[in-house]
Amino acid sequence: MTALLIYRNATPEVMAWAEDYKARAQQVAAARWGWMADLYDAHGVPDDTPDSDARIRGAFTRGCAFSGLSWPDDIPLPDGWFRPVKTPQLVRPRANTKAGKTALAEMARFDRPDARRELRKKFGMPEHVFAGSGLYTSGVRMEDDGVWVTWASRDVAHEKEMANVGDHGWERIPLARYIDRFGEDDL
């Protein structure tokens, strides 16, 4: 079992932020899916499933930015796009072409909001902490009873970045309570 460090915040400000975040993320996702579906339709990518969105497979980095789009091998790529050598299953716009720059500018509108970054800026919960022998990144979970932030090491609690999280309404949660709430399989 991982030695988790868990915090929860259920203040009205954080709960309002969480609802707003989910709504913004949903709007961005809907716009992104629509744009990708239009791109597929414009280039004749067949819809081979009853669910038209099943053909769309976009990949996004952990940092929430677009990293590629799946594309059938038998259909020519849009102007200004290419298949990277390291990820040939995905296609990307080529930044050194006019068409590629246009596509990249369009896709920048669809980067997902970053919950970790927003929690750091608005509510004092760091997104990354150097602790012990590593760099740790928080996990964020938004539920009806609060925003939960998990860390994979208890060492994080002793770092200076964590010194003031209590001032922003973050409550340290025992691991047993987290397991009772979400189950052991969620670790």
Closest by Cα among 89, 43, 46 to 67: 89
Give the rounded percent of residues in the chain with a pLDDT score beyond 70: 87
User: What pTM does this model have?
Assistant: 0.76
Split at pLDDT 50, 70, 90, the class of 51 is very low
DSSP character string of 127-179: SEEEETTEEEE-EEEEETTEEEEEES-GGGGGSGGGTTGGGGT-EEE-HHHHH
- Average pLDDT of the residues in 26-33: 84
The DSSP string of 103-118 is HHHHHHTTPPP-HHHH
- List the domain boundaries for the chain: 5-19+113-186, 25-108
